[in-house]
Amino acid sequence: MVEEMFQIIGYHVPPAALSNHARKSGSCQLLDFDLNKVNSLGFNPAVYTRTLDDDDIKKQNLYPRQVKERSSYIPGILDRFTGSDVRVLRKTLEEFYNLKKFSRIFPTRASSKYLNYLNTVSYYDKLLDGFVTRYGENGLDNREEDGTKENGLERIRTACDKNMHL
Protein backbone atom coordinates (compact mmCIF):
# COMPACT_ATOMS: atom_id res chain seq x y z
CA MET A 1 0.00 0.00 0.00
CA VAL A 2 2.83 2.43 0.84
CA GLU A 3 4.59 1.62 -2.43
CA GLU A 4 1.42 2.32 -4.38
CA MET A 5 0.92 5.58 -2.49
CA PHE A 6 4.44 6.72 -3.50
CA GLN A 7 3.67 5.77 -7.10
CA ILE A 8 0.38 7.68 -7.09
CA ILE A 9 1.88 10.86 -5.62
CA GLY A 10 4.74 10.69 -8.11
CA TYR A 11 7.80 10.32 -5.91
CA HIS A 12 10.98 11.27 -7.77
CA VAL A 13 14.55 10.16 -7.29
CA PRO A 14 16.30 12.87 -5.22
CA PRO A 15 18.95 14.89 -7.07
CA ALA A 16 21.63 13.68 -4.59
CA ALA A 17 21.07 10.12 -5.81
CA LEU A 18 22.13 11.26 -9.28
CA SER A 19 24.98 13.58 -8.25
CA ASN A 20 27.87 11.49 -9.61
CA HIS A 21 28.40 8.56 -11.99
CA ALA A 22 28.54 5.90 -9.25
CA ARG A 23 25.29 7.10 -7.70
CA LYS A 24 23.60 7.37 -11.10
CA SER A 25 24.71 3.88 -11.98
CA GLY A 26 23.55 2.45 -8.64
CA SER A 27 20.17 4.21 -8.86
CA CYS A 28 19.63 3.01 -12.41
CA GLN A 29 20.57 -0.56 -11.50
CA LEU A 30 18.26 -0.53 -8.47
CA LEU A 31 15.37 0.87 -10.52
CA ASP A 32 16.14 -1.24 -13.62
CA PHE A 33 16.52 1.95 -15.63
CA ASP A 34 18.75 2.54 -18.66
CA LEU A 35 21.78 4.60 -17.59
CA ASN A 36 21.65 6.45 -20.93
CA LYS A 37 18.23 7.84 -19.96
CA VAL A 38 19.30 9.04 -16.53
CA ASN A 39 18.58 12.69 -17.37
CA SER A 40 14.86 11.93 -17.33
CA LEU A 41 15.05 10.05 -14.03
CA GLY A 42 15.31 12.96 -11.61
CA PHE A 43 12.84 15.61 -10.56
CA ASN A 44 12.02 18.26 -13.17
CA PRO A 45 10.34 21.27 -11.51
CA ALA A 46 9.05 22.56 -14.87
CA VAL A 47 6.63 19.62 -15.02
CA TYR A 48 5.04 20.76 -11.74
CA THR A 49 5.00 24.51 -12.20
CA ARG A 50 1.74 26.23 -11.39
CA THR A 51 2.75 29.38 -13.25
CA LEU A 52 0.31 30.26 -16.00
CA ASP A 53 1.35 31.89 -19.25
CA ASP A 54 -0.87 34.27 -21.25
CA ASP A 55 -2.37 31.41 -23.27
CA ASP A 56 -3.36 29.56 -20.08
CA ILE A 57 -4.94 32.68 -18.59
CA LYS A 58 -6.89 33.51 -21.76
CA LYS A 59 -8.30 30.00 -22.00
CA GLN A 60 -9.19 29.78 -18.32
CA ASN A 61 -11.00 33.12 -18.52
CA LEU A 62 -13.31 31.55 -21.13
CA TYR A 63 -14.63 29.21 -18.42
CA PRO A 64 -15.56 31.30 -15.34
CA ARG A 65 -15.77 29.53 -11.97
CA GLN A 66 -19.31 30.78 -11.37
CA VAL A 67 -20.69 29.09 -14.51
CA LYS A 68 -21.29 25.45 -13.59
CA GLU A 69 -23.46 24.17 -16.44
CA ARG A 70 -21.67 21.38 -18.28
CA SER A 71 -23.07 22.64 -21.58
CA SER A 72 -20.90 25.75 -21.15
CA TYR A 73 -17.61 23.85 -21.20
CA ILE A 74 -18.00 20.26 -22.44
CA PRO A 75 -18.23 21.14 -26.14
CA GLY A 76 -15.02 23.16 -26.37
CA ILE A 77 -12.69 22.85 -23.40
CA LEU A 78 -10.67 20.05 -25.03
CA ASP A 79 -10.45 21.55 -28.51
CA ARG A 80 -7.01 22.99 -27.82
CA PHE A 81 -4.60 22.25 -24.98
CA THR A 82 -2.45 24.79 -23.18
CA GLY A 83 0.73 23.96 -21.28
CA SER A 84 -1.06 23.86 -17.94
CA ASP A 85 -3.79 21.63 -19.44
CA VAL A 86 -1.15 19.13 -20.52
CA ARG A 87 0.55 19.18 -17.10
CA VAL A 88 -2.72 18.55 -15.24
CA LEU A 89 -3.96 15.86 -17.63
CA ARG A 90 -0.56 14.12 -17.74
CA LYS A 91 -0.43 13.99 -13.94
CA THR A 92 -4.03 12.76 -13.76
CA LEU A 93 -3.34 9.92 -16.21
CA GLU A 94 -0.08 9.08 -14.44
CA GLU A 95 -1.94 8.78 -11.14
CA PHE A 96 -4.65 6.64 -12.76
CA TYR A 97 -2.15 4.20 -14.27
CA ASN A 98 -0.42 3.78 -10.91
CA LEU A 99 -3.61 2.68 -9.15
CA LYS A 100 -3.75 -0.95 -8.06
CA LYS A 101 -5.66 -1.22 -4.78
CA PHE A 102 -6.79 2.39 -4.55
CA SER A 103 -9.76 3.74 -6.50
CA ARG A 104 -10.13 7.20 -7.94
CA ILE A 105 -13.30 9.04 -6.97
CA PHE A 106 -12.76 12.16 -9.10
CA PRO A 107 -12.74 12.57 -11.97
CA THR A 108 -14.94 9.76 -13.23
CA ARG A 109 -17.74 9.76 -15.77
CA ALA A 110 -20.22 9.54 -12.89
CA SER A 111 -18.69 12.23 -10.65
CA SER A 112 -19.83 15.28 -12.62
CA LYS A 113 -23.17 15.24 -10.77
CA TYR A 114 -21.34 16.30 -7.60
CA LEU A 115 -20.10 19.51 -9.22
CA ASN A 116 -23.65 20.87 -8.80
CA TYR A 117 -23.13 20.91 -5.03
CA LEU A 118 -20.19 23.31 -5.25
CA ASN A 119 -20.55 27.09 -5.17
CA THR A 120 -18.02 27.44 -7.97
CA VAL A 121 -16.29 24.93 -10.25
CA SER A 122 -12.61 25.42 -10.99
CA TYR A 123 -11.27 25.43 -14.53
CA TYR A 124 -9.32 22.23 -13.85
CA ASP A 125 -12.39 20.41 -12.51
CA LYS A 126 -14.13 21.35 -15.77
CA LEU A 127 -11.12 20.23 -17.81
CA LEU A 128 -10.96 16.86 -16.03
CA ASP A 129 -14.71 16.37 -16.30
CA GLY A 130 -14.54 17.09 -20.02
CA PHE A 131 -11.59 14.74 -20.47
CA VAL A 132 -13.15 11.71 -18.75
CA THR A 133 -16.49 12.40 -20.45
CA ARG A 134 -14.83 12.30 -23.86
CA TYR A 135 -12.04 9.75 -23.35
CA GLY A 136 -12.89 7.74 -20.24
CA GLU A 137 -10.92 7.53 -17.01
CA ASN A 138 -7.98 5.78 -18.70
CA GLY A 139 -7.88 8.25 -21.61
CA LEU A 140 -8.15 5.42 -24.13
CA ASP A 141 -11.74 5.63 -25.29
CA ASN A 142 -11.65 6.51 -28.97
CA ARG A 143 -14.06 8.92 -30.46
CA GLU A 144 -14.65 9.50 -34.11
CA GLU A 145 -14.91 13.06 -35.22
CA ASP A 146 -14.66 14.10 -38.86
CA GLY A 147 -13.64 10.56 -39.78
CA THR A 148 -10.57 10.49 -37.52
CA LYS A 149 -10.04 8.39 -34.45
CA GLU A 150 -8.30 9.85 -31.45
CA ASN A 151 -7.87 9.06 -27.79
CA GLY A 152 -6.86 11.26 -24.92
CA LEU A 153 -3.71 9.36 -24.02
CA GLU A 154 -2.37 9.83 -27.56
CA ARG A 155 -3.19 13.53 -27.44
CA ILE A 156 -1.32 13.97 -24.15
CA ARG A 157 1.69 11.96 -25.41
CA THR A 158 1.83 14.07 -28.57
CA ALA A 159 1.67 17.27 -26.53
CA CYS A 160 4.43 16.01 -24.21
CA ASP A 161 6.59 15.02 -27.20
CA LYS A 162 6.29 18.68 -28.25
CA ASN A 163 7.28 19.74 -24.69
CA MET A 164 4.05 21.67 -24.22
CA HIS A 165 4.08 20.75 -20.52
CA LEU A 166 7.47 22.37 -19.86
Per-residue pLDDT reduced to its tens digit, 34-81: 777 655 566 677 777 888 999 999 999 999 999 999 999 999 999 999
Which pLDDT does position 144 carry in this prediction? 59
- Residue 15 is predicted with a pLDDT of 74
Strand ranges (DSSP E) for 5-87?
none
> What is the Cα–Cα distance from 124 to 115, expressed in whole angstroms?
12
* pLDDT for the residue 81: 97
Rounded to an integer, what distance in angstroms lies between the CA atom of residue 140 and that of residue 125?
Answer: 19
Q: Do residues 16 and 29 make contact, with C-beta atoms less than 8 angstroms apart?
A: no
Type of residue found at 46: A
Buried/exposed 94-117: b ≥16 CB within 10 Å, e otherwise? eebebeeeeeeeebbeebbeebee
Read off the pLDDT of each residue in 127-148 and give the average, rounded to a whole number: 81
Express each pLDDT in 21-47 by its tens digit.
888 888 778 766 777 765 556 667 777
Confidence of residue 132 (pLDDT cuts 50, 70, 90): very high
> What does the pLDDT read at residue 60?
98
Average pLDDT of span 101-108: 88
Distance (Å, whole) CA 117 – CA 17: 46
Please report, rounded to a whole number, the percentage of residues in the chain having pLDDT higher than 70. Answer: 83
pLDDT, tens only, 7-21: 667 666 777 777 888
